[in-house]
Structure 1
Amino acid sequence: MHFAPESREADLLNTVTEEMQRLMQLINDLLNFSRYQNGLQKLKLAPCSIETLLEEARARYEGQAQEQEIVLMLDIQEPMPRLHADQS
């Protein structure tokens, strides 16, 4: 379907697309949680850097933020402790 970029229909289609993506992510998260609970998948805990996790999160959402003219910045105070977490 093609609508004029500024039309109400295009806006609604974008909203539906975004909500479908969120719903798919929620479903995948619930499936993963179920796998962990049933022992089908195990957490692999290892020391990891908080800075690295924060940078990965910033990079993941940077495109969406730019679309809304939002700048994501990290201001990390050194030294940061290491976490035991599953990085996958």
Structure 2
Amino acid sequence: MLEGAVAEAASNAEAGMSLEIHYLFHGEPRTKRFEAPGDACSPGQAARHLIEVHFADAENSLAMPGADDSEAQLLEHAEVLGISAIRLNRR
């Protein structure tokens, strides 16, 4: 039984899930691609990732979202920072 679970986990890890995030950054279309485990990424999580990509090295840590921000808060925060029209494409 354990062998079957290990084999299934290995198969899922090998398959991986490629995720494309299509969005506008200050009105310009952009795409980010990365490997995501499972089906875990939501638009809010994608917004958090994009904020981190674009603003992680900002001197003002207020640009970063709170750890417990809701999905709606993350999307609103991203819009304030110029990240909008987030669309996810799972492959």
- TM-score (normalizing by structure 1): 0.28
State the structure with bigger RCO (CA 8 A, min sep 6), 1 or 2.
2
State the structure with more CA Rg: 1
More strand by share: 2
- TM-score (normalizing by structure 2): 0.28
More helix by share: 1
